[in-house]
Amino acid sequence: MREIIEKLKLNKDVSDNELASLIDDNYDTELLFQAARSVREEIYGKKIYIRGLIEVSNYCKNDCFYCGIRKSNLTVNRFRLTKEEILSCCKTGYSLGFRTFVMQGGEDMHFTDDIICDILREVKSDYPDCAVTLSLGEKSYESYKAYFDAGADRYLLRHETANNSHYQKLHPSAMSLENRKECLYNLREIGYQVGSGFMVGSPYQTTENIIEDIRFLQDFNPHMVGIGPYMTHSQTPFANHPNGSVDKTLKLLAIIRLMFPKVLLPATTALGTALQEGREKGILAGANVIMPNLSPKDTRKLYEIYENKLYTGDEAAEALHNLKNSMKKIGYEIVVDRGDHNSKTPMK
């Protein structure tokens, strides 16, 4: 195994069989994590970037089988934030040192392009030194272009799975992998920094599927890769499927760091939910981004894409303070920085 890890570190690639061993075999994963940390530290030092997550709406026209806020879940209390509420989240976030705001939401038809552009222009004019990331699902080329022209810098859209038939098992027939990929290529062409990714342990996922995900990422070469364990939600058709494995998620974070040394790799909320100190373990496996929640406390609970989502009940300030301490304990430092993919991060 040591040889495969060395090879992956050196060549940024190994064969499918070797990938399968890294993903599935039992071995001392500390070797893998150590390699991932050394690659990450060469580029990013001990710096951890933070993104302020603002959950803008849990209305969604889609019906993804794994997601708690799917439209068929009639037990959800739906909310959407007003422009003023979003701006107030940014204000809090800015004063705490956030320089990236991520506006994430379901595919809520109330948020027309005009409304989204209006919000973007206001956020960018109030905080010109901040990056704005959108995560609002599948839209037309024209819509993505309008958001970009209104100031959006980055877009997160996980591909979810790069295998067609697996994609169909996770989504209603109105959705397709083809369209998902087209959205990703459109975003890239328009000029966004793009994030893609997938869930680890989603229902029916095989190791071959994960390898296809990795091959797709090599082909698309996104700026950011979001991966976290699948987490069950009782009000979905997948209520009886078990959670994804934390260990496998950590292995994949490390593998992705070794294959894409410069990639922005978040230790996700799902990882922090699946395991206490999951985000710290993610950092120690090669992740370099954390996305703390800046949403208003009362709506945070309602944005339940999976159950028992990590929620400390703390104010944003308190949560950030605790996060800084927990990162310091493991030798890392949260920085105030837009944290662009291409930024020349000074080495320590």
State the residues that interact with ligand 5AD by CB under 6 A. 66-67, 158, 160, 199, 228, 230-231, 233, 270, 305-306
The distance of closest approach from Cβ of residue 124 to ligand 5AD in the complex, given in angstroms and rounded to an integer, is 23
Who contacts 18 (Cβ-Cβ below 8 Å, separation ≥6)?
4, 7, 8
Nearest 5°: phi and psi at 116? -60, -45
The distance of closest approach from Cβ of residue 60 to ligand 5AD in the complex, given in angstroms and rounded to an integer, is 10
Dist CA 277 CA 214 (whole Å): 26
Nearer to ligand 5AD, 199 or 290 (CB): 199
Spell out the alpha helix ranges (H) of the chain.
2-11, 16-24, 29-44, 83-96, 113-126, 141-149, 164-170, 177-190, 207-220, 246-259, 269-274, 278-284, 297-300, 316-329
Dist CA 23 CA 27 (whole Å): 10
The distance of closest approach from Cβ of residue 263 to ligand 5AD in the complex, given in angstroms and rounded to an integer, is 17
Nearer to ligand 5AD, 199 or 285 (CB): 199
Contacts of 165-169 with CB under 8 Å at 24 or more apart are 166/204, 166/205, 166/206, 166/209, 169/65, 169/203, 169/204
Nearer to ligand 5AD, 9 or 159 (CB): 159
Dist CA 157 CA 49 (whole Å): 19
Nearer to ligand 5AD, 59 or 66 (CB): 66
Nearer to ligand 5AD, 7 or 241 (CB): 241
Nearest 5°: phi and psi at 231? -125, 130
The distance of closest approach from Cβ of residue 306 to ligand 5AD in the complex, given in angstroms and rounded to an integer, is 4
The distance of closest approach from Cβ of residue 162 to ligand 5AD in the complex, given in angstroms and rounded to an integer, is 13
Asked if residues 195 and 225 have their Cβ atoms less than 8 Å apart, the reply is: yes
The distance of closest approach from Cβ of residue 253 to ligand 5AD in the complex, given in angstroms and rounded to an integer, is 15
Nearer to ligand 5AD, 153 or 213 (CB): 213
Q: Got the DSSP string for 192-250?
A: -EEEEEEEET-TT--HHHHHHHHHHHHHH--SEEEEEE----TTSTTTTSPPPPHHHHH
The distance of closest approach from Cβ of residue 2 to ligand 5AD in the complex, given in angstroms and rounded to an integer, is 32
Nearer to ligand 5AD, 196 or 288 (CB): 196
The distance of closest approach from Cβ of residue 270 to ligand 5AD in the complex, given in angstroms and rounded to an integer, is 5
Nearer to ligand 5AD, 127 or 269 (CB): 269
Dist CA 342 CA 336 (whole Å): 16
